[in-house]
Amino acid sequence: MTHLPIPPRSKLPLLIAGLLSFLFTVWLYFVQGQTTAGVFVALWVPSIAGGLFLTGRQLDEQPELVPETSRQRNADASFDRALALVRSGF
């Protein structure tokens, strides 16, 4: 599978949001003295960074829809036979 490059422009809103969240945290914690609110807002930064990480994933890292294999078909057929036996009362 080919790697499609993620354009840097698509990451820009998340970078800005992470930076603003960090600055808002510092302002709340140190300037306003609201330590609880500062710590709460500080939790946003890793969440935004996680979103930034997920937008940078390559297509090969994402789960693919794999066609049904013969093993899966056999397992489904075995389950259907067992279900028919149970329904018939053995």
Which residue range is the domain that position 29 belongs to? 1-62
Q: Is residue 90 part of a domain?
A: no
pTM higher than the cut 0.85: no
Which is higher by pLDDT, 72 or 38? 38
Q: Is residue 38 part of a domain?
A: yes
Q: Is residue 85 part of a domain?
A: no
Number of domains in the chain: 1
The 10s digit of each residue's pLDDT in 58-85 is 544 555 555 656 666 667 777 788 877 7
Q: Is residue 71 part of a domain?
A: no
Tokens at 18, concatenated: 């992470």
Q: Is residue 84 part of a domain?
A: no
Q: Are 32 and 1 in contact (CB under 8 A)?
A: no
- Gap between the Cα atoms of 64 and 68, Å rounded: 12
Q: For CA atoms 45, 51, 56, 58, give the dihedral sign.
A: positive
